[in-house]
Amino acid sequence: MNTFLITFLVFLLVVTAMAVGVIFSNRKIKGSCGGLNNIDGLEGDCVLCNKKKCEKKQALRDSQT
């Protein structure tokens, strides 16, 4: 039981340290928001980040179909 508690506390400290690091670095967490737009059949804007589709990319897709 002691091993479990020590392990849990270590993980808790690591997660807390990472969260504090992200907060103090004052940067947004970045990801691949446009990934779902590359799937056929899914149309529309990214709901989560409000990114608009690239007009050049959409024109290229339309010309290829």
> What pLDDT digit, counting tens, does each position of 33-45 carry?
555 555 555 555 5
Cα dist. 25→13, 22, 29, 30 in Å? Answer: 18, 5, 10, 13
pLDDT of 16 higher than 90: yes
Maximum Cα–Cα distance across the chain: 64
pLDDT band at 47 (very low <50, low <70, confident <90, very high): low
Six-digit token pair at 30?
């970045």
51 and 34 Cβ atoms separated by less than 8 Å: yes
Range 45-58 average pLDDT: 60
